[in-house]
A and B are shown apart, each in its own frame.
Chain A
Amino acid sequence: MEGPATSSGALPPDTNDTDDLTMEPSDDLGLGPEVPGGTEHPLEHDYDVSNDAQLLRQAWINESLTPEVLMYREDLVDRIRSLIARQEKIVEDYEQDHNQALTRAIRFAEVSRIKFCLRSYLRKRLSKIEAYAIHIYMNEELSSKLSPQELEFAKDYIDAVNRLFKDSILSRLPKDYNDLLHQSMESEAPDMIPEPSLDRHVFVRVLDDLGDIPIDDQNTTFRLQEGDIFAIRYRLIRDFVDSGRVELV
Chain B
Amino acid sequence: MAKYYDVDDILAEQETLPTVFNTEVYALGRALDPSCDSENLPAGSSVNLPFWLADFLSHRKMLKPHLPKFLKKRLRDELQGEAGCVDLRDRCKFFYELGRKLCTLSELDGSEDLSEFLLNTFTSRFKEMLTTSHVCSNETRETYSRVLTNEELELFTRAQASSKAFERWIYSKSTVISSRIKRNKRKREWEGQEFRFRTRPVVSA
Chain A residues within 8 Å of B, Cβ to Cβ = 183, 191-195, 197
B88 to chain A, nearest CB (A): 24
Cα–Cα distance between A191 and B4 once the two chains are bound (Å): 8
Q: Sample 15 A-B pairs with CB under 8 A, ordered by A number.
A: A183-B1, A191-B1, A191-B4, A192-B1, A192-B4, A193-B1, A193-B2, A193-B4, A194-B2, A194-B3, A194-B4, A194-B5, A194-B6, A195-B2, A197-B2
A197 (CB) vs chain B CBs: closest residue: B2
Count residues of chain B with CB under 8 A from any CB of chain A.
6
A196 to B126, CA, bound (A): 26
Instruction: List the B side residues contacting A183 at CB < 8 Å.
Output: 1
What is the bound-complex CA distance between A146 and B2, given in angstroms?
A: 21
Would you give the 0/1 interface string for B1-26, flagging 1 where the beta carbon is closer than 8 Å to chain A? 11111100000000000000000000
Residues of A within 8 A of B5 (CB): 194
**Chain B residues with CB under 8 A of A194:** 2-6
Could you list 4 further interchain pairs (A-B, Cβ under 8 angstroms) beyond the known A192-B4, A194-B6?
Answer: A193-B4, A194-B3, A194-B4, A194-B5
Task: Determine which residue in B1, B3, B6 has the highest number of CB atoms from chain A within 10 A of its CB, and name it.
Answer: B1
* A191 CA / B2 CA spacing, docked (Å): 8
Bound complex: CA of A58 vs CA of B152, how far in Å?
A: 32
Chain A residues within an 8 Å CB radius of B2: 193-195, 197
Interface string of B38-55 (1 = CB under 8 A from A): 000000000000000000
- For residue B2, which residue of chain A has the nearest CB? A195
Smallest CB separation, B64 vs chain A (Å): 24
Q: Report chain B residues within 8 Å CB of A195.
A: 2
Q: Determine the residue in chain B with the shortest Cβ distance to A196.
A: B2
Give the CA-CA distance A193 to B2 in the complex, in Å: 6
How far apart are the CA atoms of A193 and B5 in the complex, in Å?
9
Chain A residues in 8 Å Cβ range of B4: 191-194
CA distance in complex: A195, B6 (Å): 11
For B6, the chain A residues whose CB sits under 8 A away are: 194
- Name the A residues within 8 Å of B1 (CB-CB): 183, 191-193
